[in-house]
Structures are given as structure tokens and as C-alpha cells.
Structure 1
Amino acid sequence: MTIELPVEAVSGKPLIDPFGRAIAYLRVSVTDRCDFRCVYCMSEDMTFLPKRDLLTLEELDRLCSVFVDHGVRKLRITGGEPLVRRDIMTLFRSLSRHLASGALEELTVTTNGSQLARYAAELADCGVRRVNVSMDTLDPDKFRAITRWGDLDKVIRGIDAAQAAGLSVKINAVALKGVNEDEIEPMLEWAHGRGMDLTLIEVMPLGEIEPDRIDQFLPLSRVRASLLDRYTLEDLPDRTGGPARYVRVKETGGRLGFITPMTHNFCESCNRVRLTCTGTLYMCLGQEDAADLRTPLRASEGNERVSQAIADAIARKPKGHDFVIDRGRNRPAVGRHMSVTGG
């Protein structure tokens, strides 16, 4: 049921969903394009959106600013690969004003690291303090096989540049059965040895891809049990705004995160929504329901219609997703690829 609010009453109001969760975190996909083709994320021959369908950087800034006005405290810029979008740093520079004013607590980015060497210092100048780098292996050949096109050395140079610029780096690794499960311990040691968190992520059933996801899926409950043979894992209350549950690895002193949408979903505390580069708002990563924000954005110079559209959308935010991976359901839970929604 849609909650109808007078347009003039919406502006500035906090965004509270039907389950009492305050929406304080917006993930913004600025492009569906990427310079990698990771096997769990994209098909090798992707058809990307025509550029005319994308919001301009000015429009993305305007939408983000409306969300900030409604109580969003954390913005994460994603893609595709966000740093391949032309002139992307103009968006970071513009959004940094909300950090300066105190309206925004954090501006972050998730990247594959391919462009970090080029942009790390400028990101830091814009007030970015943390970056997530998606990297699933330390083996150069395996890295190229997973990403199809990626260069591991280039990503490592990007991580070097990010740390040199003072950015905190977290490594995100998708756990892939038969691919990198034997590398989780070495990656943990490597990341913690460099002062970086490592977060492990279960494969999610988003979009049609060539491999069968049941063949990719590695339950993190099994990974955690295996790690306990060698490490002491101490549960932490830490939250970074996202879905990860963290432990402290006593032997390394570093943090290890688990994102488990399949074996233990994280929906009960979800405070996130996702905005695509076309102005479509998804209230849940694992549901198809969405709201068009581009039309009201372009219909008026004021933001009242956009605010109303956002309020209406948040009133439909579901309690959780319906992700399933099994042999009997050999199709994605939703048809769009992760690169469309924003990782």
C-alpha cells in the first residue's frame, strides 16, 4: 500500500519504511559499464545502456542531495565500475559539500581498483576516507580468468596508491567454489598484513550469466567452519552501514567480514536503497519492485515531486529478499545484473 503524503509535507522528513527502519544509506550506480567482465557478475558479451538513457552527473548530484535532505547519511558510489565514467570526479567534488556541511557522514566508493592509481589522491581530496576494492584472488592468471579482462598488477598498484593517499581500503572477495576457496586464508593474511579488512561475499542470483550459479556457490558457513581450524574468530558488534557481520581474527589482529545473503540474510536491519544510473530506485537488491525518479526529476526544477516519489517508494520497501540457489530453480532471482543495480 502506498502512503500518500502531501507534497509540501515530504521535504526534509526522514525516510522510514513500513518496518520502522530509517533509510540512512544510499548506494548510487553511476554507470552500468565496467572494464572487467567478472564471471559471477556479467555475461562476457554484455549489452550496455545507451548513454542517452543515463542521468547526467548534475542530475545524479541533485538526486543524491534530495536523499541527503531526507536523512541519508552515507553515500556509496558504485557501478559497473564507477571510475570509468567520464568526468566522474566532478560528482565527487560536488557531493563533498555535504561532508563539509555535516549533512553527510560518509562518501565512499566501491571499485575494481583498475583506476585507483589515477584517482586515489583526488578521492581523498574530496573527503573520501574509505574505499572497497573488489578482488577475488592473488593469483594473476586466476584473476584474469575470473575477471576475463583484468590485470591484477594494475589493481595492486591502485591499492598502493589508495593507501599512500591515506584511504582505508577494504577488500571484497566473492567466495567461489572450486575457484578461490583454497585462497581465503592467504588472502586474509595478505589483507591483514597490509592493514586492510577482508570481507567475503556469497554469490547472489542476479542476472543471466554463462556459468551455473549452483556450481559457483560456496556457503560462507562452511568457510567459517574451515577457518576455525586455524584461527580464533571473535564476533564483533562493528557495523560499517552495510550488511557485513564482522569478526576479529585473533592471530592477525585484523577484521574479517561475512556477507551471507543466501545462508543467513541480513534483511532485518536493512537501511539501504539503491539508485541506478538511469534514475531507477530499487528498495531491495533481491526484488524487482522499483520507482522511477528520473521522470519527476526532469518534470520540475524544484524537488517536491522527487521527494514525493521517494517517499512513496520507501513506503513499499519489503521486509527482505527471496534469494534461492538450487538445482530446481535454475534461473536468477531477478533478471538484472548486479552491474545494473550497483554492487
Structure 2
Amino acid sequence: MLIDTYGRTVDYLRISITDRCDLRCTYCMPKGFTEFEKPDHWLSFDNIERVVTQFAALGTKRFRLTGGEPLLRKNIVELVARLKRIDGVEDLSLSTNATQLVHYAHDLRQAGLDRLNISLDALTQKNIQKIVGTDVQAKIMSGLRAAKEAGFKQIKINMVPLAGINDHEIDAMVEFCMENGFILRLIELMPMGATAQRHQYINLQPIIARLSDQYDLHPTEDSYGGGPARYWQNQQKTFLMGYITPMSQHFCQTCNRVRLAVDGTLYMCLGQDHQYALAPLLKNHASDQELQMAIQHAIQLKPLKHEFQEKPKKMIRIMSMTGG
């Protein structure tokens, strides 16, 4: 198993397969941003498969495909099928903005994809456009319907509350997820890059208290994926609400994940610069043993915690470059 210097077991790898996106969310990617990684520098499917195989051999069980928007990567269904066949891959999921999902949901499910996380920060056309830069409400809703029809269970909706922009839609989002059988997760904004740092972060603790009382939600110890969300459930056990609170109540002491960027760089923490380049080893046809040793060394670089509160202007690396 992969255990870092602080005794934390790392059993979750998030894999960015492209840093490109068809949206420009105001807290993620700057308007007019063009500094994308050159496709020649992207890890090939063969290399991604090699890295996942070695992580799995070292005890990593959960893997998530991210971006940017991962559905923009050509032949993603093929990649899902290849990764799902690897021994030790117990859970394979994907994060998406759902604009392309109507075209892929069925094939992804057939290829073995286990779960979907869908970013949706608002329900109204006006606010969706304000946040992402274009009117994609119809595409997203079509993608959500396609995901349900394809047979995906426990579809998670990720909402980042933004002060004065979409925070008034939280209750409507709760009702929407209740009606459709989705798991809603509210996520505190992290100050990654100048775009996110311009927004006012919303402390979720008062919202947790209000929604728990309003909808009779109670904490549950059950796990719904390998991420950091804490979950609340209604008495009927028909609705789950998750909260990810890296600012008001961080979870660094139990962090179990690292991120692989599209260029082969392993990032140990969203809020720190600790990284390890796997691309040179892959390019030089390193052996499986050499790759495993490199991964084990990289895990030892994982820092104790982020410093988003102490140094909110520190991280200039935007989320799409790191991988979601």
C-alpha cells in the first residue's frame, strides 16, 4: 500500500486526460485563457494505462478521470474500457460538466464506468450563463437525462456556492436533486488561481446547519466514493447531501488522493507545489519496478496540509491545469 510520511494511505488517483474545456467557469479558468498543454505533451492512453496499472499494484483502488472536460478527449470510451480491465481497479468514475454527456453516457456505462460526478452550479439559464460564459442549460439537462437512462446510480451533482451569484439557488438545487434522485454536494471555493481568488468564499457551516434543520437531514458515516465529502441523509433514506469544506473544516489529516496532470506530473496537494514528473520515466520506457519506486517516492513528498487560509494568494496554478 502507498503510505505517506504522515501515515495516510493513498488509495485514490485522479487523472486529468485533458486540460481543455468547452466552458469558462468564472472561478476556474480565466476568460480568453489559451495556455493549454500541447497535445504532443499529453500522456497517451498506453502511458495512462501503465501508470494506473502500477498504482493499482501498489494498492490504489479508486480512480477518477477528470480535466478540464474529459469528454473532449477523443476515444475516451476506449480508455475507460482499458482501465476497467486492470486488476485492482475497483472503482472508476468520471467528472464532467455534462455538455457532451448525451453523446457518451450509454457507451461509458457499457464500457464499465461506475460513477459520474457532474458540475452544475445553477439551474436557471441566466445564472448558468453568468458562471460558465455560455448558454448550455439544455445540453446539461439532456446529459443528466441520458446518464439516468444509461443506468448510472448515485449520480452526484457538484455545486460551488458563489456569493451574490448562485447562493440563492441552493434550496432550488436541493429540491431538484431530491426530485431526480441525485446526490447533491456543496463545495467551498478554494483560492486556486486569480479567477477563484476574485470570488468571495462562502463558509458552508451555517448552510449545513440550516439545511439539516429544514430538510431533517442527519449525518451518516456511510461512504459514497473515496473523496472528502461528509454526508447527511434524510430520515427516509431517500436523499443524500454531501459537503466538501476545504476552507472552514479541512480534511487534510485524512487526505487519501493525489492527482496526475495531463502532462504526466503528479501533484500531491491542490494547495501546495509538491510534484513529481512521471513523463520522463514513461518516455524512457522505465520498467514496472522503476515506475513503482518513483510513485512510492512521490507519495513521500505529500505535504501535511494546504495553506489556503494562511496564504490565500499562494496558488497561481488554476484547477484545469492540475486536474479536478
TM-score normalised to the size of structure 2? 0.95
| Cα offsets for 1:99-156 (capped at 9, x unmatched) | xx4x211100000001111111111112112100000111011101100135011011
Aligned-partner Cα distance in 1 for 2:291–2:236 = 50
Letter in 2 for 1:208: A
Letter in 2 for 1:42: M
The equivalent of 1:49 in structure 2 is 37
Partner of 1:209, secondary structure, is helix
| Cα offsets for 1:207-227 (capped at 9, x unmatched) | 1228712x3x11101212332
The equivalent of 2:321 in structure 1 is 340
Aligned-partner Cα distance in 2 for 1:262–1:313 = 25
After the TM superposition, which residues 141-156 of structure 1 pair with which residues of structure 2 at under 5 Å, given as runs?
Answer: 141-156=126-141
| Residues 1:137 and 2:122 aligned together | yes
Structure 1 residues 249 and 30 mapped into 2: Cα distance closer, same or farther (>3 Å)?
A: same
Letter in 2 for 1:258: Y
| Cα offsets for 1:270-292 (capped at 9, x unmatched) | 11111000000011111111001
| Cα offsets for 1:222-260 (capped at 9, x unmatched) | 212332452222001022210100001347830000000
The equivalent of 1:115 in structure 2 is 100
Partner of 1:208, secondary structure, is helix
The equivalent of 1:183 in structure 2 is 169
Q: Deviation at 1:330?
A: 6.5
The equivalent of 2:204 in structure 1 is 220
Between the two proteins, what is the percent identity of the paired residues? Answer: 40
Letter in 2 for 1:28: I
Partner of 2:4, secondary structure, is coil
Letter in 2 for 1:45: G
| Residues 1:196 and 2:177 aligned together | no
Partner of 1:72, secondary structure, is coil
Aligned-partner Cα distance in 1 for 2:312–2:321 = 21
Aligned-partner Cα distance in 2 for 1:42–1:282 = 19
Q: Deviation at 1:307?
A: 1.4
| Residues 1:29 and 2:16 aligned together | yes
| Cα offsets for 1:152-211 (capped at 9, x unmatched) | 110110010011010121100001111111111111111121111000001111112287
- In the alignment, which of 151, 172, 177 is matched to residue 158 of structure 2? 172
Letter in 2 for 1:226: R
Partner of 1:200, secondary structure, is strand
| Unmatched runs of 5 consecutive residues or more in structure 2 | none
Q: Deviation at 1:341?
A: 1.0
Q: CA RMSD in A?
A: 1.6
| Unmatched runs of 5 consecutive residues or more in structure 1 | 1-13
Aligned-partner Cα distance in 2 for 1:290–1:226 = 39
| Residues 1:237 and 2:227 aligned together | no
| Cα offsets for 1:53-84 (capped at 9, x unmatched) | 21112211211111111111011000000000
Q: How many residues align?
A: 321
Partner of 1:36, secondary structure, is coil
Aligned-partner Cα distance in 2 for 1:45–1:261 = 28
The equivalent of 2:4 in structure 1 is 17
Whether the 8 Å CA contact 1:283–1:314 is kept in 2: the answer is: yes
| Residues 1:91 and 2:79 aligned together | yes
Aligned-partner Cα distance in 2 for 1:91–1:243 = 26
Partner of 1:258, secondary structure, is strand
Letter in 2 for 1:52: D
TM-score normalised to the size of structure 1? 0.90
